[in-house]
Chains A and B, each alone.
Chain A
Amino acid sequence: MSNHAVPRPRFEAPDPEHGTKAALKIEDTTAPLLDGKVSEVPDALFAGAMRFCGFAVVGLLALIVYQLVIGSNLSWHAFGWKFFGTSDWNPVEDQYGALPFIYGTLVSSLLSLVIAVPLSVGVAVFITEMSPVSLRGILSFTTELLAAIPSVVYGLWAIFVLVPILRLYVQPFLGKTLGWTGLFTGPPYGIGMLAAGIILAIMIIPIISSITREVLTVVPQHQREGVLALGATRWEMIRMGVLRNARAGIVGAVILGLGRALGETMAVTMVIGNRPEIAKSLFAPGYTMASVLANEFTEATGDLYLSALIEIGLALFLVTIVVNALARLMVWSVTRGQPSKTVA
């Protein structure tokens, strides 16, 4: 780390007569020092309070786990593992199976990765390796601006702009050209799995590309120079000297994006169609774990209904935690624990 980054403390010279505020009222604290007895009580109190705050963070996580486990107890005892393997979601008959939601979450997230990964890596490569320096700052700022837009605004845009485009142009075209695969069949509603995947992709591009960029920047310069010196073109240099070295970190960035996509709620809820069905076609409406919580939690009347929803929440929580922990480890393995510049 360069010394230039270290902020200089701003002290003003204390006025010997009055001891300004900037002199931090040292006279207060020097007095006991001269007496030779410094009270340790305030120090211990302060340290205790800060420790409390630190451990409160752990406490929060414990609280989350506790609330979810207690809340889902009823449903767990009623259905056991079957809960995750059956697809009958019927509040009227108190029958709950979470499979359609798990399917919807997985498919929409994977679809978003398929779209977002090449784009984000491309942007990161362009910014770190190709872009003129003057463009670099602007580009990274604008891509990060995408991350500042609230989820509900993405949803709003998707409903009124993206979905009509999909319905009128993209889906008929895909149906005609790729309909034989079975992935693009059925009536073009606009809303559905495809819309959810696309909006999710737009939302996770900033995180994947900013972390990929961070990982690419840590690749030592001499790697690039070495490959270039062997006569490689720029692309060969990027492929052999940069991307290959940053592989683990890029995979980490992708998994971090996956973690985001899995838990994303509002935008998906607004465009996925909210129908608990498992369909092969990406045009068909679906439902995700997060959206069923968003839609049905306040309306859940029976205890078992509420408990089943909380169990979905617990499952979502566990999956995202595993995914995130995995991603952190992979990013760390490349950046070697250097403090991240982006707050992910």
Chain B
Amino acid sequence: MNSEMILPQISWRRRATDRLMTGLSILTVLLVLLPLFAIFAYLVIKGIGSINIAFLTQTPKPVGEPGGGMANAIVGSGVILGIASLLGVPLGVGAGIFLSEYGRNRYGDAVRFVSDVLNGVPSIVIGIVAYGLVVLRQKHFSALAGGVALAIMMVPTIARTTEQMLLLVPQSIREAAYGLGVSRWRTTLSITLRTATSGVITGIMLAFARVAGETAPLLFTAFGNQFWNLKVNQPTAALSLQIFTYAISPFDEWHRQAWAGALVLIVLIVSAVAAVRIAVRHGTLAGA
């Protein structure tokens, strides 16, 4: 059959508009991808040249002296994130369990709404709150205060993803457990949560990745430190803070290190997320 017979005549104007809009939307894709590639290219090009053993093992040198590194900031970030996870993960998972297992009612709806709202609170505002909660009481900046700020940011994300993952577990499995005489709490922990483990961990990693690069809430909580510090109640350096300080400084040597720090930060975030994904899929946690 001749295609002319079925296809209606489309005026050149409509055809041209169609072509134009298709072209424009391809253009938008290119425009959006451009900065992405630019950022990664600059990170790799400028960062790799500056990463060396000294950068990864030494503390910052005073202004004017070349060399030095961000070892204390890398470790400091680890400490702060550790505290944040220790506080935020149990609370977030607990809230998620509440939402899916005990919160199919208006209390649950309230918690759900509040956690979505909490998700949108600017991170700098969370910093003010942690400042009031911890720094003002302790009378000095500390890794603990930074951890509290990041923990507050992790909770809503973890709660909502945990809820979604637990809801995917079929009701019949819970009922089977009840039928065997397993108590409700035991069913929730050993059956429901266990079935959803990989999803829940993915949610935790998402939250972790989101706060790992946060700077604003650390400015007046962890504060930063040019020296080694492993005490949780002392001002502590963080990679993101160090990048910020170096980037806005007027020294070329520090600019160079800021790029290196940014590359390390991104690599750490990506590899942490990838490691857990792989562990969940194949390794020790598989089947958990």
Chain B 3-31, CB-CB to A under 8 Å as 1, else 0, gives 00000101000110110011011111101
Which chain B residues lie closer than 8 Å to A16 at the CB level? none
From B42, B170, B248, A157 is in contact (CB under 8 Å) with B42
Given A56-B91, A149-B39, A294-B216, are A67 and B129 neighbors across the interface (CB < 8 Å)? yes
Contact B216 A122 (CB under 8 A): no
Say if the beta carbon of B244 comes within 8 Å of chain A. yes
Contact B124 A290 (CB under 8 A): yes
Say if the beta carbon of B95 comes within 8 Å of chain A. yes
CB distance from B48 to the nearest CB of A (A): 15
Taking residues whose C-beta sits less than 8 angstroms from the other chain, chain B's interface range is: 35 or more
Which chain B residues lie closer than 8 Å to A152 at the CB level? 213, 215, 240, 243-244, 247, 262
Inter-chain CA distance A185–B25, complex, in Å, is 31
Say if the beta carbon of A241 comes within 8 Å of chain B. no
Say if the beta carbon of B121 comes within 8 Å of chain A. yes
Contact B22 A234 (CB under 8 A): yes
Contact A156 B258 (CB under 8 A): yes
Within 8 A of A (CB), among B142-186: 152, 155-157, 159-161, 164, 167-170, 173, 180-186
Inter-chain CA distance A270–B119, complex, in Å, is 24
Contact A231 B8 (CB under 8 A): yes
- Name the residue on B nearest A62 (C-beta): B114
Say if the beta carbon of B125 comes within 8 Å of chain A. yes
Within 8 A of B (CB), among A183-222: 202, 205, 209
Say if the beta carbon of A47 comes within 8 Å of chain B. yes
Contact A43 B266 (CB under 8 A): no
Say if the beta carbon of A114 comes within 8 Å of chain B. no
Sampled A-B contacts (18; CB under 8 Å):
A29-B182, A32-B181, A50-B97, A50-B98, A53-B92, A61-B117, A120-B32, A121-B28, A130-B25, A152-B243, A156-B258, A156-B262, A235-B22, A260-B120, A263-B122, A266-B216, A270-B247, A343-B203
**Chain A residues within 8 Å of chain B by Cβ, number:** 99
Given A51-B98, A159-B247, A320-B121, are A150 and B180 neighbors across the interface (CB < 8 Å)? no
Say if the beta carbon of B219 comes within 8 Å of chain A. yes
Contact A64 B126 (CB under 8 A): yes
Contact B124 A151 (CB under 8 A): no
Inter-chain CA distance A127–B15, complex, in Å, is 21
Beyond A64-B125, A123-B32, A156-B247, 16 additional contacts (C-beta under 8 Å) are A30-B181, A47-B184, A53-B92, A54-B103, A67-B133, A68-B129, A149-B266, A150-B213, A153-B243, A153-B266, A160-B42, A160-B255, A160-B259, A294-B124, A324-B117, A343-B203
Centre residue among B25, B183, B269, B270 by max chain A CB count within 10 A: B25
Say if the beta carbon of B107 comes within 8 Å of chain A. yes
Contact B42 A161 (CB under 8 A): yes
CB distance from A57 to the nearest CB of B (A): 5
Contact A7 B14 (CB under 8 A): no
Chain A 28-66, CB-CB to B under 8 Å as 1, else 0, gives 011011000010001101110111111111101101100
Contact A26 B180 (CB under 8 A): yes
Which chain B residues lie closer than 8 Å to A328 at the CB level? 116
Given A7-B169, A161-B42, A263-B125, are A33 and B181 neighbors across the interface (CB < 8 Å)? yes
Contact A233 B17 (CB under 8 A): yes
Given A236-B18, A265-B124, are A122 and B25 neighbors across the interface (CB < 8 Å)? yes
Using a CB–CB distance below 8 Å, which chain A residues touch chain B? 5-7, 9-10, 24, 26, 29-30, 32-33, 38, 42-43, 45-47, 49-58, 60-61, 63-64, 67-68, 70-71, 118-123, 125-127, 130, 139, 142-143, 145-146, 148-157, 159-161, 202, 205, 209, 231, 233-236, 238, 256, 259-260, 262-266, 270, 290, 293-294, 297-298, 310, 313, 316-317, 320-321, 323-325, 328, 339, 343-344
Say if the beta carbon of B56 comes within 8 Å of chain A. no
Inter-chain CA distance A57–B25, complex, in Å, is 41
Inter-chain CA distance A143–B266, complex, in Å, is 16
From A24, A53, A317, A325, B91 is in contact (CB under 8 Å) with A53
Inter-chain CA distance A302–B6, complex, in Å, is 79
Minimum-distance CB pairs A-B, first 10: A150-B213, A263-B122, A53-B94, A122-B28, A54-B98, A46-B185, A33-B181, A324-B120, A265-B216, A233-B18
Inter-chain CA distance A159–B243, complex, in Å, is 12
Given A53-B91, A205-B32, A233-B17, are A68 and B125 neighbors across the interface (CB < 8 Å)? yes
Contact A150 B265 (CB under 8 A): yes
Given A6-B168, A55-B111, are A290 and B209 neighbors across the interface (CB < 8 Å)? no
Given A24-B191, A64-B126, are A142 and B120 neighbors across the interface (CB < 8 Å)? no
Q: Is the interface of B mostly helix, strand, loop or mixed?
A: helix
Say if the beta carbon of B36 comes within 8 Å of chain A. yes
Inter-chain CA distance A50–B187, complex, in Å, is 14
Chain B 115-139, CB-CB to A under 8 Å as 1, else 0, gives 1111111111111110111000000
Within 8 A of A (CB), among B168-224: 168-170, 173, 180-186, 188-191, 195-196, 198-199, 203, 206, 209, 212-216, 219-220, 223
Inter-chain CA distance A6–B216, complex, in Å, is 38
Contact A262 B122 (CB under 8 A): yes
From B36, B123, B161, A146 is in contact (CB under 8 Å) with B36
Say if the beta carbon of B49 comes within 8 Å of chain A. no
Which chain A residues lie closer than 8 Å to B251 at the CB level? none
